[in-house]
Each structure stands twice: as structure tokens, then as C-alpha cells.
Structure 1
Amino acid sequence: MLLCEEVQLLKKLPYFADLDGCKLKLLAFASERVSYEPGQKLFKQGDGGDSAYVILSGTVETVLETPAGQTKIRENGVNSVVGEICLLCEGERTNTAKALTHVEALKINKDCFSRIIHDSPNMTMRVTRTLAERLRHTADELDTVKAHQFV
């Protein structure tokens, strides 16, 4: 995938929709292209978080590891982002993400993201709003999973 294609992909994502073209190019250029085979983990719950992943192709499953076993949270496909909470927060990963199929992704480094967002107040608000919506959606999904476990 060419740099201009990666920029167009990033522009389609809610997190980056308001970012100007030069900053999108910088973000795409500074990001690393990575691939995973089915079963490989992008990251593991409890690990330190230093990057997020934009899924270019394939499917990634996120699971919550509990003493009772794994609970599937969701599947993420093309044009989705996984692991993005760590871009704004310090601490450990709150779930595990693993490839269900062959996955190509753009790995966005936390330091690069921080520099770009620092210079873009509109993006800060957009990212905050998008993360809040994602958190609410995840909480609803976990409530549904819990309800089904006790039925």
C-alpha cells in the first residue's frame, strides 16, 4: 500500500477525519506496516500499551481474559482500530487482540500520535468523543455477555 493510500484510509476513520493532510501524511509515514497470521497476538492483556493498530485487511478478535476463561468482546475488520485506548492513557492493555485471519495493519506509535494530537485541538476533541462512544459500546457489549452467562 502506498503512502497516499494509507493517508486516505486514515482519513476515513473517525479519529483522524478532521486532521489536515500534512499531519495525516506524517502519521502514515511514521507508522509501521505489520502483518499477523491466524492465532498470533497483536497484543496481550496486561502488557504495556505503546501503539494502536489500524486494520488494513483481515479480522482481529478482542477478548477479555478472566479467571473463568476468555470472553470475546468483538471482532474488528478492515478500517477499524484496536488498542487505541493506550494512545491516551498510561497503563496496561485491558484486553488481548489476536488475528483470526491473515491481518495487515498499520501500527501507530503512541509518541508520534501524541505529538500530532498536541498540535491539533480539534483532533483532541474528536478522539475523546470517539473513545467515549467506544467505551459506552464496549460496556454495553460486556453487560450483554454477563447477562447471557447467568441465564
Structure 2
Amino acid sequence: MLLEDEVALLRKLPLLSRVDPGRLKVLCFASDRESFAPGEVLFREGEASAGAYVILSGSVDVFKSVEDSHYTKTGSDAAVAIIGQSSMLNDTPRRATVTALTDVEVLRINSSCFMQLMTSCCKSSEGVIRSLGAQLGDADVAKKAMSSDR
């Protein structure tokens, strides 16, 4: 995959959609591409985080033991997914175990590289903050809807 293709995929992520394409090129260049076979663990709940994983292709199973819940995330040209973004942003342990369901290709974004990008460009930081604010608002609305259903 070409660098421009990776940048285009990252721009599909709400978290990075407002980041300058030039900055995203730097982030892609500093990130690692990794492949996982079905059944391989990308990371385990409770492990220290070193970054987020952008699923470029394939599907993963996400399991949270506290909630005893499973859900699937899929990456494709139409719907790129990111996992581990909260751990990347606040240096907390992984909140779930993620296992490859199919052959999976990811771009692993290093936390320190991401934070350097954010601190070096106010405009990129503003875009990420606005995206996080929107995600928090969406999560709050969903939480209220779930509690009113009970």
C-alpha cells in the first residue's frame, strides 16, 4: 500500500479526519505495519499500551472480561477501524483483548509519535480534540438511551 493510500485511510477515521495530510504522512511513516493470522492476539486486556492499531483489512474479535462481552471490528476500504485509541491517548493499560478472526493487516501508531504530532501542531490538536468531544457526546447520548430502555 502506498503512503498516500494509508493517509487516505487514516483520514476516514473520525479521530484523524481533521489532521493535516502532511502530518498524517509523517505519522504513517513513523508507524509500523503488522500482519496477524487468524487466532493471533494483537494485545491483551491489562497490558501496557504502546499505541493504537488501525485495522487496514480483516476482522478482529474484541473481548472485555469485565463486561463478558464480545464484538467484532472490521477494516476495509469502506470502513477503517481503530482499536486502542483511548490507551494511546491517556497511557492506560489495554481495556480489552483483541484477537484476529481473519488475516488482519494493521498500522500500529506509536503513542509517543502521535503525541509529538499533537504537540507540534495546534491545528491538528484542535481537530483531534473536537473529534474526541463529538465521540464523548455520542457515547453520552447512547448511554442515556440505554438507561431509559431499562
* TM-score relative to the length of structure 1: 0.81
Distance 1:21 1:132, change over 3 A: closer
1:49-88 to 2 correspondences below 5 Å: 49-66=49-66, 70-72=68-70, 74-78=71-75, 79-88=80-89
Distance 1:135 1:83, change over 3 A: farther
Q: Does 1:120 align with 2:118?
A: no
Distance 1:136 1:20, change over 3 A: closer
Does the 8 Å contact 2:51/2:85 carry over to 1? yes
Does the 8 Å contact 1:15/1:123 carry over to 2? no
- Alignment partners' CA distance in 1, 2:109 and 2:51: 5
Match of 1:45 in 2: 45
Other structure's SS at 1:9 match: helix
- Alignment partners' CA distance in 1, 2:13 and 2:49: 21
Letter of the aligned partner of 2:83 in structure 1? V
**Shift in Å, 1:129:** 4.3
**Deviations along 1:82-129, whole A, 9 cap, x unmatched?**
011112112211111111111001000001100001123343344344
Larger displacement relative to structure 2 (116-125 or 86-95): 116-125
Distance 1:133 1:77, change over 3 A: farther
- Alignment partners' CA distance in 2, 1:138 and 1:36: 30
**Deviations along 1:52-92, whole A, 9 cap, x unmatched?**
011110011211013xx8421x2111101001111211221
**Shift in Å, 1:136:** 6.7
Does the 8 Å contact 1:85/1:131 carry over to 2? no
Match of 1:101 in 2: 102
Does the 8 Å contact 1:62/1:97 carry over to 2? yes
Letter of the aligned partner of 2:88 in structure 1? L
Does the 8 Å contact 2:87/2:94 carry over to 1? yes
Letter of the aligned partner of 1:71 in structure 2? S
- Alignment partners' CA distance in 2, 1:34 and 1:51: 13
What is the aligned-residue identity percentage? 36
Match of 1:147 in 2: none
* TM-score relative to the length of structure 2: 0.81
Unmatched 5+ stretches in structure 2: none
